[in-house]
């Protein structure tokens, strides 16, 4: 079983079963940061505390511009000899180049991995790795890292040579499922994401990156840190992440405007995915004052709008 064969089989699959599923995430890529100064290099650039990251563990983190707006959100994984950044493929080259700008004389090597792959595992019927969220474990198939959410699931980072080991899973009770299932589970788990269309559109607080554990307010400086910290200590965000639901046949575009009945902008779409054929679940960066108002995406009314942060969370 090769990676390409998995992708081919996935293209023919629409399975959304409640059983164990393997989800090749071809829309994701890996950036490797290696070298003796890799830890300090990343510590000085990212929103989370890289120094606290343990071996085979991941953490949610952000990379901001000097104005505190997010260039990317990703999982940072610490391995024995390097760190891996797991992020949308559409941002991988841009972020790799941006990191290289900060390299200067640092003893680090930054590269896009071509022969390593990202897969999602949904496993309500088994526990192939750790049961502790964000904790990883080495198995025959690669490095498996437990993910948050009500559904038991893990991220798998596998090299070409590890993919073959998945064959015996498919011969048992595992099925190949579409990537849309993984995105829906991320949305429901409250994990925000930045894509090419929303790069530099949001601060960490506007999409709950701080509440999701992706920002450390105890570490040292990083690009945009002053803006992010000022909002945390001296104010409160006027926007937060909401979960919305609407009935439509087409997914709203990333960063599309959410408006009230009069056309005033209330927020923007962070990401969305179908939960069934005609129901869409969305993450929305919304003004807290939008609670109780009629909210629209285009001509579609959002039928339910749930804040993912309370007033005390935002304080």
What range defines the domain where residue 109 resides?
Answer: 3-188
Pick the last residue of a domain from 135, 154, 188: 188
Q: Among 84, 181, 79, which residue's Cα sits nearest to residue 136?
A: 79
Model confidence at 277, pLDDT cuts 50, 70, 90, reads confident
Query: CA-to-CA distance for 64 and 61, rounded, in angstroms?
Result: 10
114-145: per-residue pLDDT in tens?
999 999 999 998 889 899 999 999 999 999 99
Pick the more confident residue, 170 or 15: 170
Q: pLDDT-derived band of residue 16, with 50, 70 and 90 as boundaries?
A: low
What average pLDDT does range 238-260 have in this prediction? 95
Q: Is the pLDDT of residue 13 over 80?
A: no
Same domain, 182 and 204: no
Q: How many domains does the chain have?
A: 2
What pTM, to 2 d.p., does this model score? 0.95
Task: With a cut of 60, say whether residue 59 has pLDDT above it.
Answer: yes
CATH number at residue 35: 3.30.1360.120
């Amino acid at each position: 079983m090769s990676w390409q064969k998995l992708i081919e089989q996935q293209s023919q699959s629409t399975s959304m079963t409640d059983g164990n599923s393997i989800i090749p995430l071809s829309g994701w890529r890996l950036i490797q940061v290696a070298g003796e100064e890799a830890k300090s290099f990343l510590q000085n650039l990212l929103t989370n505390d890289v120094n606290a990251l343990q071996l085979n563990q991941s953490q949610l983190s952000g990379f901001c511009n000097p104005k505190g707006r997010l260039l990317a959100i990703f999982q940072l994984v610490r391995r024995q000899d390097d760190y891996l950044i797991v992020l949308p493929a559409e941002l991988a080259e841009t972020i790799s180049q941006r990191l290289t700008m900060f390299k200067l004389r640092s003893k680090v090597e930054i590269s896009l991995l071509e022969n390593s792959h990202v897969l999602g595992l949904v496993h309500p019927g088994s526990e192939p790795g750790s049961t502790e969220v964000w904790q990883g474990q080495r198995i025959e198939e690669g490095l498996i890292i437990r993910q948050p959410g009500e559904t038991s699931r893990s991220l798998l980072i596998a090299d070409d040579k590890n993919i073959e080991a998945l064959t015996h899973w498919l011969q048992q009770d595992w099925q190949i499922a579409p990537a849309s299932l993984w995105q829906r589970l991320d949305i429901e788990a409250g994990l925000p994401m930045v894509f090419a269309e929303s790069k530099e559109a949001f601060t960490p607080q506007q999409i709950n990156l701080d509440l999701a554990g992706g920002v450390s307010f105890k570490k040292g400086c990083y690009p945009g840190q002053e803006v992010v910290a000022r909002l945390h200590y001296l104010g409160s965000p006027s926007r937060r992440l909401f979960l919305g639901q609407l009935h439509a046949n087409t997914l709203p575009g990333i960063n599309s405007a959410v408006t009230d009945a009069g056309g005033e902008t209330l927020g923007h779409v962070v990401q969305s995915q179908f939960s069934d054929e005609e129901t869409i679940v969305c993450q929305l960066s919304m003004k807290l004052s939008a609670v109780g108002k009629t909210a629209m995406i285009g001509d579609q009314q959002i039928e339910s709008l749930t804040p993912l942060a309370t007033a005390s969370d935002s304080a």
